[in-house]
Structure 1
Amino acid sequence: MRAPAQGETSGGTSMNIEYLYYFAEAARQGSISGAAHSYNISQQGLSRAIQCIENGYGIALFERKGNSISLTKAGEVFLEEAEGVIAAHNHLQESISCYAPKRTAWDCRINILMTLNVAFNVWPPLSKNLQQAFPNSLFSIQELHHDQIASKLCLYPSESTFALMSIPETIKGTFSALPLEMEPIMDVRLMAKVGKNSAYAQRETVSARDLQQAPLVMHDDPVLEKMLLFLTGSNSDELESTLLRTNSYDIMADGLKQFNAIGFSNTFCFHYNRTPDIAILPLEKSIRTPIYFVYNKAATDDSSEILKIKDFLLKTVELDFPLVRYKQEDDS
């Protein structure tokens, strides 16, 4: 099945246009797992895309009965409109395809294995830069669990396959014992507010150079702590099940725009914007976790495209990013 191109649309929320494709396929099959298989993504990832739509529009799209699903009345209306958007998007792609550079073949196909948190939060800002840096490479993404990634890299090695993943402390020793090369290429940091006396209190943007002198760090907030566990891959199945039933997870799922990944100097920052009044400013406590570049050294030549990509990622482009203000009365 042809995967949709990346894009954004809005209707009470911000989301990727591909979410409409996922929703329509799930409606057609009456199955989340079937739709996920058709698009070669995880069932969990497709469910979150649908939750993003539901949370953004404040409606339930499906009724769930055992392993099957059926459209609600609101879902039927939404499907009719979504199919119109999908058809228009496909027509747009076909109309402008003649202006795209022609290629008879890709120089190489790169398979990238990712844990779900990396796919949602780290990959989006990287993808455009990577495609520009390696225009003749085709990147194929797979969202997998840690153990699935280990199996693919160890049992089915390929010089055109690598993984981007955060590795929980509980299994890091297991990964270190595998015949794999692991190198941290960037950090994940979660940030929240600071008082009006902050060095950044009057700033509109913060650059990479600023951050090297005064890093952004995280507020001691129980909701943010739960988010961090999810984002860094440190969550267990039990914790994930708990988050699915809490408002904190709903905030995460809502459009995935609550966290905006911004790259700077080999580091990624996640903005936590629960309301338009929340500021992303430095605090006393820093919580960080590395994102690892993992590959099978035995299957990789020293001049391979994989190592070129790793070197590129180690030189992440620096970006400025805006700060969103807290209300004055919230400052402390």
Structure 2
Amino acid sequence: MNIEYLKYFAELAKLQHYGKAAKALNISQPGLSHAIKTLEDEYGVPLFQKEGRNVSLSRYGKELMQDVEEILDAYLRMEERAAGLRTEEKTVRIGTVYPLAAGTIPHMLREFGATFPFIIYNRLTPEIEEGLLDGKYDIGFCSELLKSEELEYYPLRESYIAAAVPEGHPLEGKENITLKEAAKYPQVMFSRTSGFRSLQEQIFAEQGIQVKSVCEAEEIEVITGLVENGFGISILPYMDIVRLHHITAIPVQTSSWKSKFYIARRKYGIRTAQEEAFFQHWRK
């Protein structure tokens, strides 16, 4: 089946004149006649009948016309979808854990000089792994090693435990502090519905320190807002969002907790040159 010949068939059926149809299709009249003759030979039936200087569909042509229209409609939808995929393919989809989303990823894109369009999605590491595997994301930034052998990943940077304090706080000028020093001040903690709450409790428990929160919140944006407005300080893994507020992050020297962030992607896949260059730029 030649899709172009089916287009010719449909146009001739509509205009009912070889000369007019050939002009509309921007082909020669002999070329159109050859295409119709080829279809008739292929199907074994006459598709048109002469009516003076014009032509009309034969009874066989009328029966085939509905199928031809459906085929051409489906072909048009396929072309439109393919065009959409080509446009989408130029957009790099980035899945990232929240600690890197606000500052690190935009900074990396700017430092690289990215000119490609991109979309950033905030997700948890398991969701990023799943998204990389099923093609939702092109590049992932995660907080732990991924298990799938279909993915490649490289360490990007380490995180550490810090005390987030508001401007003007007595601890603000210190280069680092101990957990005991931090425990003397009211604590803003994550709520028990947050995955970070257990980490906060673990950090204090390792030092045999008991603290009671003065207020709690589930999201880091609210935690930083409470700290910024003087409700207390917060012990948490360093996150770039701290830099977006009037808050100082002081490393806690007595905490041994460390976490690595990784850049990851599928081992095999179709990539644009810019996407490949960006990944390789940050691969360690």
TM-score, structure 1 normalization? 0.36
Higher alpha-carbon Rg: 2
